Structure 1
Amino acid sequence: MGDIAPADLGVCDAHDHLFLRSPLLPGQELADAAAAAAELNAFRAAGGAAVIQWTPYGMGRGATELPCLARESGVRIVAATGLHQAAHYTPELLDRIRPDLAGLFVAELTEGIGETGPRAGMIKVAGGYHGLDAHTRYTMAAAAEAQHATGAAIGVHLELGTGALDVLELLCGELAVPPDRVILGHLNRSPDLVVHRAAAEAGAYLAFDGPSRAHHATDWRLPDALAALSDAGFGDRILLGGDTTTAGARSVNGGPGMPHLLCRHRERLELTLGKDLVTRFLTTNPARAFAATWARTGGGG
C-alpha cells in the first residue's frame, strides 16, 4: 500500500509467509487468499500489526493479493524480492532470469512486482547446509548489488540454521554489504551460542523464527539463547518470526500459525526475559532492521 514509516510498523512478525509454493512441499501450498485473510485477522486479534513476508521471486508470492489483504485486515505487509535455493525452481526459470538477476531485484524494489504488484521491501536469499554453493554465491552477489543500489535489507535463509558466518564473510566481507543490512534467519535451528554471538558482534540482525517446531530445538532452548545474547549487550539485534510454510501449519487449519508467535511463544519468552525486552524484539528491532530509503522510479504502490 506504499511506504511505511518505521515508527508505524508496530508489533511485527519479522519472518512469515502468507503465500508460498515449492516443488519441495507438494500439496502444502499457501495459495488460498481467503485462508491468508483469516490468518491475518487471527494475527491482528492477537495484537499483531505487521508481517514481513519472505517469499521471494517465483514461489507464488501472491503479490497482487497483498494490498487488499493489508487494507482489509489492518495488518501492514512487507513483500520480498530475491531468490531461494535452486531446488525450489525449474532450470528453465533460473536460466531465464540469471542474466540480469540484480536488475530484477532492483526493479521489484523500486517499480513493483510484475505489472500490477506492490513494490518489494526487502531481499530474500538462501544459504546451503554448512556451505555456499555456486547458485548461492551468484544469488548473493546479485542481492548485494541490489542492496547497494537501494539500501534494502537482505534476509538470509540459513539451512537448518547453519553457515551464518560463511554468509557474513561473503556478503559483508567480499561483497561489502553493511552488516546491519543483513538479517540471518532460522538461527534457532542451530542453537550454537558461539555463532550467535559472533554474528551479533559482526553487526547483523539475528532472526529466531518458526516457533512450535520442537524438532528444530526452537522453543525449549530459545530463552537461554536470547538471554545470553541480551546479557552480552545484543538485545537490539534480535528479531522474532513465525515462518508458516505449509497450509497445515496455519492456525485456521488447526496449526499454530501466526498467532502462536504472539500468544504462547511470547508469553513463554516473557517469563524468562521480561515483557520490555520481548516487546523490543517485536517492535523497535524490526522497525530498525527493515528500515531503508530508496528512490521510487515508477508505479507499483
Structure 2
Amino acid sequence: MCCSALVASPAEPATVVNAANLMPGTSHLPGSAALRIGRARLAAHDTPRSGAMTSGRNRGLVQTVLGPVPPSELGATTTHEHLHIDFSRMYRPAQDSPSEELADAPITLGNLGWIRRHYYSNRSNLQLTDLDTAIEEVRKFREVGGGAIVDATSTGISRNPEALARISRETGVHVVMGSGFYVAAAHPEDMDERGVEDLAQEIVGDIVEGVGDSGVRAGIIGEVGCTWPLDPNERKSLLAAAIAQRETGAAILIHPGRDEDAPLEILDVLAGGGADVERVIMGHLDRTVFEFEALRRIAESGCYLEWDLFGNEGSYYPRAEVDMPSDAQRLDFIRRIADAGYPERIVIAQDIFTKHRLIRYGGHGYGHVFENIVPTMRRKGFPEDVIRAITVDNPARILALA
C-alpha cells in the first residue's frame, strides 16, 4: 500500500440524519448546571502536558489510520468497536444447550435466536474478517450521522491496520486504531519473558511509527485487557501502557475484569506506573459496576466512564451471573452520573465484535447509538448539550494526543 494512500483524508462527513445537532459547527444550546460543573472540573486540564513526547505536529490532533486530524473533524463518535477482529480463541461451547452441530454452522434465520443467546459458541459469529461487509456496515453508520469510530482491537485478536485504513478511505469515516495487549488468554507466547519496557516500546512504535510495515499508526492504547483477579502479565501490560502514554500522549482504553473492585485496582496500577488517570477510559461499566456509589468513586478519580455495550441487552447475555442492563437502564444510570457533575467524562459505544450484531445478520449495526439511542436520550429529557458532550465533545477531547 503506497504511503500517499495512508495519509489521504476521508471524505467530508455525511449530513447527520438521526443525530441532529451533534456534528462540528453546530452551536451549543444553553448549558445545563451539570455540564457547567463538569467544565469547571476540567478547566485545569485542557492544556496539553508539557512532558508528552509527541511531535509538535501531532499534539492536540487525533491520530487516525489515515493520518492526524483536528478533533473538531471527528463528529459523532463511538469509542469502542471492532471493525476487523477474529475472536475465535475466545470460543466456548454452550453449557446449557446442545451446541456441537451449531458450533460451525453459518448464521441463518433458523439459528439466529440461539446464536444471540450463545454468541461465544458459534465460531463463524466470532469472526469479523470480511472487508466488504465491514465497509457496507460502516457506510450505514455514516448514513445515520456517525463521523468516527475507535477500533479497540489490540494485539492478539487479529488487529488489521491495512483493513482499517481501507475501511476509512472507502467510507469517509474516521477510524482510530488501538494498540497494546488484550487479556492474558490472548497474549503473545513470549509474554512471560518480556519486560515492561519492551512491551511499552512496542506500543510506542505502533503509535509513533506504525504497526509493523504497514505505516498505519495507532491512535489510542487499548483496549488493554484485564481479568479478575488481575493476571501478572496483565499488570505488566498496564505498566507498559502507562509508559507508552507518557511517551506518546495517547489515551488508554481499559477492558476491566468482571468485578466491581476491578476498575479502581486498575487505576491504582496505572497511577503507580506514572499514567495520567484523567487520560484513561474505563470501559465495560455496563457489565462491571452496578452500584451508584461505586461508580461515583470511579468518576472521582477523573477517568472517563464508558458504557460501551449499547444494543447488548439482558435477554441475550450469556453470563448468568450478570444481569445485563437494557439500553433504557444504561441511559438512566448515565443520566444520574451526569447530573452528579460528570457529563464531560462520559462516552458511549456498542462494542460490536460478532456477526450477529451487524445489520447484514439481523443486528442493529454500528449506527445503533445515533439511530436509536440519541433519540431515546431526547425522549428521556437529556439536555442537548449533554447529548453533544457524550457523543461529540468528550470523544474529541480524550482522543486528541496530549
Distance 2:148 2:264 in 1: 29
Task: Give the Å deviation of 1:286.
Answer: 0.4
How far is 1:164 from its partner?
Answer: 1.1
Give the letter for the 2:390 counterpart: F
Structure 1 residue 30: Cα displacement: 1.0
Q: Which residues in structure 2 correspond to 1:242-281 (within 5 Å)?
A: 242-272=350-380, 273-281=382-390
Considering only aligned residues, what root-mean-square deviation do their CA atoms show, in Å?
Answer: 1.7
Q: Does 1:184 find its partner at 2:282?
A: yes
Question: Corresponding residue for 1:234?
Answer: 342
1:15 counterpart = 2:73: no
- Give the AA of the match of 2:398: A
| Partner residue of 1:43 out of 136, 141, 162 | 141
Equivalent residue for 1:299?
none
1:76, distance to aligned residue in structure 2 (A) = 0.2
Q: C-alpha displacement at 1:160, in angstroms?
A: 4.0
Distance 1:176 1:97, change over 3 A: closer
Q: How does 1:118-133 map to 2 (within 5 A)?
A: 118-124=216-222, 125-129=224-228, 131-133=229-231
Q: Percent identity?
A: 32
Query: Is the contact between residue 53 and residue 80 of structure 1 (CA under 8 Å) also seen in structure 2?
Result: yes
Aligned match of 1:79:
177
Q: Is the partner of 1:156 in helix, strand or coil? A: strand
The answer (yes or no) to whether the contact 1:158–1:184 under 8 Å persists in 2 is yes
Residue in structure 1 matching 2:327, options 219, 224, 227: 219
Indicate if the aligned counterparts of 1:161 and 1:185 stay in contact, CA closer than 8 A: no
- What stretches of structure 1 of length at least 5 have no aligned partner? 294-301
**Corresponding residue SS for 2:328:** coil
Q: Is the counterpart of residue 24 in structure 1 residue 132 in structure 2?
A: no
TM-aligned CA distance change 1:133 to 1:214, over 3 Å: same
The CA deviation string for residues 259-282 of structure 1, in whole angstroms up to 9 with x for no partner, is 111112222222222333112101
| Unaligned segments of structure 2, at least 5 residues | 1-65, 92-122, 315-323
Partner SS for 1:94? coil
- CA shift at 1:105, angstroms? 0.3
The secondary structure found in structure 1 opposite 2:146 is coil
Question: 2:172 & 2:253 partners in 1: Cα distance?
Answer: 24
User: What is the Cα deviation at residue 218 of structure 1?
Assistant: 4.3
**Higher-helix-fraction structure:** 1
Q: Do residues 208 (structure 1) and 317 (structure 2) align?
A: no
Distance 1:93 1:254 in 2: 40
Q: Post-superposition shift, 1:96?
A: 7.6
Q: TM-score, normalized by length of structure 1? A: 0.91
Q: Displacement, 1:88?
A: 2.3
Are the aligned partners of 2:191 and 2:233 in contact in 1 as well (CA < 8 Å)? no
Say if 1:66 and 1:285 are closer, same or farther in 2 by CA, change over 3 A: same
- 1:207-258: CA deviation from partner (whole Å, max 9, x where unpaired): 1111121122141321221111111110000001111011221122211221
The alignment's TM-score, normalised by the length of structure 2, stands at 0.69
Distance of 2:227 and 2:174 partners within structure 1: 30
Q: 1:49: Cα distance to partner?
A: 0.3
Tell me the distance in 2 between the aligned counterparts of 1:245 and 1:79: 15
Structure 1 residue 3: Cα displacement: 0.4
Checking the alignment, whether the CA contact within 8 Å between 1:210 and 1:218 is kept in structure 2 is: no
- 2:236 paired residue number: 138
- For residue 136 of structure 1, what is the amino acid of its counterpart? E
Q: CA deviation at 1:195?
A: 2.1
Question: Does the 8 A contact of 2:221 with 2:251 survive in 1?
Answer: yes
Counterpart residue identity of residue 16, structure 1: E
